[in-house]
Chains A and B, each alone.
Chain A
Amino acid sequence: SAVISQKPSRDICQRGTSLTIQCQVDSQVTMMFWYRQQPGQSLTLIATANQGSEATYESGFVIDKFPISRPNLTFSTLTVSNMSPEDSSIYLCSAVTFGTSFEQYFGPGTRLTVT
Chain B
Amino acid sequence: AQKITQTQPGMFVQEKEAVTLDCTYDTSDPSYGLFWYKQPSSGEMIFLIYQGSYDQQNATEGRYSLNFQKARKSANLVISASQLGDSAMYFCAMRASDYKLSFGAGTTVTVRA
Contacts from A to B (Cβ < 8 Å): 1, 31, 33, 35, 37, 42-45, 48, 90, 92, 94, 96, 101-109, 111
Contact = CB atoms under 8 A, between A and B. Distances in A.
Nearest to B45: A106
Label chain A's interface by main secondary structure. strand
Contact of B47 (A31, A37, A44, A103): A103
Contacts of B104: 42
Interface string B23-49: 000000000010101000011110100
Interface centre among A43, A105, A107, A111 (most CB of B within 10 A): A43
B100 A45 contact: yes
Contacts, number: 53
A106 to B, nearest CB: 4
A43 B91 contact: yes
A109 B52 CA distance: 26
B112 to A, nearest CB: 23
Label chain B's interface by main secondary structure. strand
A22 to B, nearest CB: 16
A103 B50 contact: yes
A105 B101 contact: no
B100 A109 contact: no
A104 B33 CA distance: 10
A42 B37 contact: no
Contacts of B44: 106-109
